[in-house]
Amino acid sequence: MGSGVIAILLTLMAVVAEMQIEGLTDFTRLDFPPPPNFVFGSGSSAYQVEGAALEDGRTPSIWDTYAHSGYTHGANGDVACDEYHKYKEDVHLMAETGLEAYRFSISWSRLIPNGTGAVNPKGLQYYNNLINELINHGIEPHVTLFHYDTPQILEDEYGGWLSKKAVKDFVAYANVCFREFGDRVQHWTTFNEPNVFVLFGYDSGLLPPNRCSSPFGTNCTRGNSSTEPYTAAHNILMAHASTAKLYMKKYKAVQHGFIGLNIFSYWYIPYTNATEDVIATQRANDFFIGWFLNPLVYGDYPEIMKKNAGTRIPTFTKIESREVKGSFDFLGVNHYATAQVKDMSISLQMDSRDLLADMAVTIKLNESDFPPGQFPLNPAGLKELLEYLKGYGNPPIYIHENGLSAIRNGTLDDIPRLQYLQGFIGSLLTAIRNGSNTKGYFTWSFLDVFELLDGYNSGYGLYYVDLDDKNLKRYPKLSAQWYSSFLKGRSTSSDQKIEVSANISDFKESHFSQ
């Protein structure tokens, strides 16, 4: 169990060859509503881009601990892209590219180094500087409060998200953010893909805080894969709900902003048309999407989760249910690919089960359609996913992450990424034309950042960051030029010729030898 899903995440890092994109390819920025009704941007998260990990009073998060324990090819985010020092340069680059919005996260342990209590003035100043710089360049800040980075001090003190104490501390942290930045920040996301965070952090143990139990995970020194994913998710949902309630009561009327939660989702299709695979596909959607979205929309977990997890999934009290229901203005979605779902109901016969055994599916790559090791990219899956989400009352949606990973080898010639973005943005347009209430799209990622599983071995960036250069110089890839010309209103038709140097050494020659 578990290895199927893990294989898929690992495959996100695979090298991808050129692909043919079918469907809508000839469109322009003007086919979408103008800002602020719809924004195009790009994203990052604090630990992946800031660096200055132990500078100016920041303390480690569980992600620092994970990165320093050898999970990411010996790499870590101590320096990352050094955006902490280079934010002006980066915002300038964003403006040049034509970004209308930038999605970034606040490092809780930079702002409040003890997790709770005093605010770090240097942290406050950094985020004020970044936000002001963005606004001065006409770029909307879209802020995430939590992106895999529980302050280590709270993990040590009470077990982080396994404890209800984290709810109170998170709300207090969020309150500082709303109070200090809310006059300029209109879009707040409480948690980034908590479904993946708890699945990999508390079931398989592959991501921070690396908790799991045998036989479900490997090499964990502590944890309980049968119960902890459900407990952590419940506390995260209640932290989200309390935070949203605080924002709606105390800040929204004055600051006029919006608050939401983000989830990760593949588009799932049945492996075969057999009834059990079709039912398994619905089950996968209930476990991945419904786990968080059903509480937000209906005030409770999906029936199938309650049935399969039994007493291991917490029950919402009446008060909790009322608080969580309706606690969002928008849903954030991280979407990269389509996956196939095969029934694995046999796993329900095991006496001891983890979350994945409760889900009772095998998630497969659509391998048959692609050469070995290559990722099943299916732009149409985004439109299908958005159609599916309409079923939840057509909530406002931001595509918070979408992009393509490739090995970092110095090439700036990323035609596959360009085609990927073109395909998915076209698919998004099709969904919008059919009534999807999607209000924004962010590529992952603006720069080649420190990646969660892969360190610096691969990247999704529009811009390459030269790690061999002590100034960590940024170089635009073809995809940056394509996105920029799209954002500036030009046609996206793929026969458009983009003149660009194909790799870093060419680029350096043409720019530095004059």
Measuring CA to CA, which residue among 209, 231, 230, 213 is closest to residue 222?
213
CB of 227 to ligand NAG, least distance (A): 4
| 78 makes contact with ligand NAG (CB under 6 A) | no
- Token pair 């070995």: residue: 372
Check residue 227 for interaction with ligand NAG (CB under 6 A).
yes
Considering only 22, 96, 156, 369, the residue that binds ligand NAG (CB under 6 A) is 369
Min. distance of Cβ 135 from ligand NAG in angstroms? Answer: 28
Structure tokens at 481: 């030029």
Interface of this chain with ligand NAG, residues 431 to 460, rule: CB under 6 A: 434-435
Pick from 218, 315, 345, 493: which binds ligand NAG (CB under 6 A)?
218
**C-beta neighbour count of 396 within 10 angstroms:** 15
Binding residues for ligand NAG, total number by CB under 6 A: 32
Q: Which one of 387, 388, 466, 487 is in contact with ligand NAG (CB under 6 A)?
A: 387
150, 192, 210, 226: residue in contact with ligand NAG (rule CB under 6 A):
226
**419, 375, 461: which is closest to 81 by C-alpha?**
461
- Per the listing, tokens 């605010």 go with 119
Q: Of 406, 432, 452, 462, which one interacts with ligand NAG (CB under 6 A)?
A: 406
% helix, strand, coil for the chain, step of 5: 45, 15, 40
When the beta carbons of 36 and 410 are compared against ligand NAG, the nearer one is: 410
Binding characters for ligand NAG, 38-77, by CB under 6 A (x = yes): ----------------------------------------
Pairwise CA distance, residues 94 & 141, whole Å: 12
Q: How far is the CB of 187 from ligand NAG (least distance, A)?
A: 25
Whether 401 is a known active-site residue: answer yes
- Residues in contact with ligand NAG, shown as a per-residue x/- string from 250 to 289 under the rule CB under 6 A: -------------------x--xx----------------
Query: At what angle are helices 165-181 and 228-246 packed, to 10 degrees?
Result: 30
| Nearest CA-CA partner of 416 in 377, 449, 364 | 377
CA 367 to chain centroid, in Å, comes to 24
Q: How far is the CB of 218 from ligand NAG (least distance, A)?
A: 4
CA dihedral 401, 208, 48, 467 (to 10 degrees): -120
Evaluate the omega torsion of the peptide bond into residue 513 and state whether it is cis, within 30 degrees of 0.
no
Cα angle 350, 351, 356; round to 5: 55
Determine contact, residues 81/125, Cβ cutoff 8 Å: no
Judged by CB under 6 A, which of 407, 467, 487, 500 binds ligand NAG? Answer: 407
Query: Could you tell me the end-to-end alpha-carbon distance of the chain, in angstroms, rounded to an integer?
Result: 58
Q: Which of 193, 228, 320, 323 is catalytic?
A: 193
Per CB under 6 A, residues contacting ligand NAG are 15, 113-114, 117-118, 120, 213, 218-219, 224, 226-227, 269, 272-273, 338, 366, 369, 376, 378, 387, 390, 406-407, 409-411, 434-435, 503, 505-506
Known catalytic residues are 193, 401
